[in-house]
Amino acid sequence: MQRQEKGSPEIVSKGLYHLNNIVKMFSKNLVIGSKWKLIGFVVAFATISLEGLFWLFRHHRPRRSKLVKEVLFFPTDVTCTNHLFQMTHNKRPCTCPLLHCDDSPYNRLLKHLLSARNTLDLCVFAFSNQDFARVVLELHRRNVLVRIFTDKDFMKITGSQIGNLRKSGIAVRHEQSDCFMHHKFAVVDKKLLITGSLNWTCKAIQCNKENILITEDAEIVQPFMAEFEKLWNESDPMKFFSLTC
């Protein structure tokens, strides 16, 4: 038997039916002088239509918070990012020559990453952009648990930020096989997915035709979380250390 939804027509009709019975029982005990008062009450109540009741139920139910769903495209103009890293109470006007646009795809992407409060799981093929490295270091400073999984060859190319992040105390693991680790996604606080074709490089942001999808849809986020955990556990250094001893 299906459970009836609160505010459904069946529940409202039953409520009116029981209320009508109560009015009938109550009317038997009324003195004749109150008869017209009772009639007036019934007529006034009858003017409240079912449509009006549905409106009340619909507008007074607790509303679910709107899930984040956003698509960003690149390349984009180079914009100033300094204000993103300033404390709210200590923000100062920036005088740098770069474009100041808080709504650019680049800044929107950085703001989504900086929204992390507990965890950031990052799976990226190439990572050389300094602004992205600054984001990761800022989150690490805030005691956000950051984990990075990357490609073993591209983590060593000139300009890669992986080595500096690892030296700063951020957990880094890499693909152990001879195949490329070509993923590009991040999961913020285990609920916000950022994925697409974009590598974390200046060329990808400023030159390449790239896309980013950002969503809180749990049915999409969960498989990416599972993939990250699988890759992270498979590349545990202790497993390979024990094999060489």
- Active site amino acids: 182, 184, 189
H-only helix segments in the chain? 9-28, 35-46, 50-60, 105-114, 130-141, 162-167, 202-206, 218-234, 237-244
Helix (H) or strand (E) holding 119: strand 119-124
Helix (H) or strand (E) holding 188: strand 184-188
Cα-based angle 229, 230, 235 (whole degrees, multiple of 5): 100
Give the span between the Cα atoms of 211 and 185, in whole angstroms: 12
What does the DSSP 8-state code read for residue 5? P
CB 135 within 8 A of CB 113: yes
Of 127, 129, 113, 121, give the one whose Cα is nearest residue 145. Answer: 121
Of 156, 224, 149, give the one whose Cα is nearest residue 191. Answer: 224
What does residue 173 show for φ and ψ, rounded to 5 degrees? -135, 160
CB 186 within 8 A of CB 215: no
